[in-house]
Amino acid sequence: YPAPSGVVAYRLLPGERNRSSIELGFQHVLDSNPRPYSRAFLTRRLLEDRASRAVGWIAADSARYIYGNEARYQGIGIVPRVEIGARGQLTMYANRYAQRLQADCGFLPTEGAMPVEPDRLRYLGQPWSRFDTHNSNHGAILTSRPRTDAWNLRFSSLVSDVDRPRSDFNMFRDVAANGSAEAVTIIARDRRITSWAHEAIAARESTFGDHRLGLNVVARYRDSDYRDPITQTVELGRVSLFDRPRISEEPVAPAEPTRTSARVRQMETGASLRYAHRTGLAASVSARRVFVDESSKATDRADSARSSANWLYNASLAAPVTDALTAFVATTRGIEEAGTAPQNAANRFEVLSPVL
């Protein structure tokens, strides 16, 4: 699915046979703080086995591993599939995941090592601070049934949306041996990331005696929009990690906030060649040409944009040494967009060059 930094593998619930499962249980039993959870999935074959439907569900009432955060998790997804003609298969999917928890706490000791150990089940952050996210994915994948010595095709179009009304964080700096620390709560409102990705792959495998050759040709396009959060900082002063937390009132959101938004468009084409021998010798090589267009917009400054084009590659070689030992060597070159310069930098909000 289209993640913020590219398209990653997404494993769908299989629907080859009818099956169902419901699981009920408890978490955090060893912490003497048991919390219930439920998990279920259902798959059914339809239309004389020419179609299938898979549904999954998970929900949990949790106390986070540290430090006492209360949390709620809920997720549901559905995956329908249908056969098209003699060779085609269309897979669609949609899921939604909601997570809400008290914001995490972080600690910066005075001299590097944490001198005290706070109570794991006592929440030290502000009671109104929270992390709230709603993630959804949906899309369609059209594939041809694999055949040897023939071109096999795959087309996909996928959308991913991350909506975070709040992503706060409680920071305790300069933690001393007596448990005192400077407390700061960072409020982050209204962060959102949306990505839409398309992919087309043509693959062919052929066998010649003891040799097998495989060729892949790929084209991809990704369009991602980022909306940075509106941030506020609440200084709480010096506090003790062993006393009751000092509670502050939740500040009102600013009327005219300073924020940025960014857009990344990535296009790539490439090909890969694979070779395998009956003895276990295998080699592969691939090359891709990637074009990245990035732009940034802030409420209080001019727009910034940058375009780049790069060659990416990878190669690998594996050879059997003995029946139980195989030697291999591999190299790869990837790309990652670097985003924009932070608000407190001299070149703030400037689009940075991708990292290779």
Handedness of CA 231, 237, 242, 246 (dihedral sign): negative
Where b means 16+ CB within 10 Å and e means fewer, 200-239 reads bebbebeeeeeebeeebebebbbbbebbbbebbebebeeb
Q: Distance (Å, rounded) from C-alpha 356 to C-alpha 347?
A: 21
**How far is C-alpha 175 from the geometric centre of its chain's CA atoms?**
32
User: What are the strands, taking DSSP E only, across 64-150?
Assistant: 70-84, 88-102, 105-109, 130-144
pLDDT at 5: 42
- Is the Cβ–Cβ distance between 137 and 1 less than 8 Å? yes
**How many Cβ atoms from other residues are within 10 Å of residue 271's Cβ?**
13
Whether residue 215 has pLDDT greater than 90: yes
Predicted confidence band of residue 37 (pLDDT cuts 50, 70, 90): confident
Range 319-324 average pLDDT: 90
CB 153 within 8 A of CB 144: yes
What does pLDDT average to over the chain? 84
Beta pairing partners, 143? 89, 154
For range 69-77, the mean pLDDT: 82
List, for residues 105-144, the tens digit of each pLDDT value. Answer: 888 888 767 777 877 778 888 999 999 999 999 999 999 9
Phi, psi of 31 (to 5 degrees): -85, 5
Between 170-184, 250-264, 268-282, 335-349, the lowest mean confidence (pLDDT) is in 335-349
Give the CA count within 13 Å in the CB-facing half-sphere of 244.
Answer: 3
Q: What gap in Å lies between CA 351 and CA 201, rounded to an integer? A: 31
Rounded Cα gap, residues 270 and 90, in angstroms: 24
Q: Is the pLDDT of residue 183 over 70?
A: yes
The pLDDT score that the predictor gives to residue 4 is 40
pLDDT for 1: 37
Confidence of residue 13 (pLDDT cuts 50, 70, 90): low
The mean pLDDT value for 316-329 works out to: 92
Stated as kind and residue range, the H or E segment containing 271 is: strand 260-277
Over its C-alpha atoms, the chain yields an Rg (Å, rounded) of: 26
pTM of the model: 0.77
Residue 7 banded pLDDT, cuts 50, 70, 90: very low
Query: What sign for the dihedral angle of Cα 289, 354, 225, 142?
Result: positive
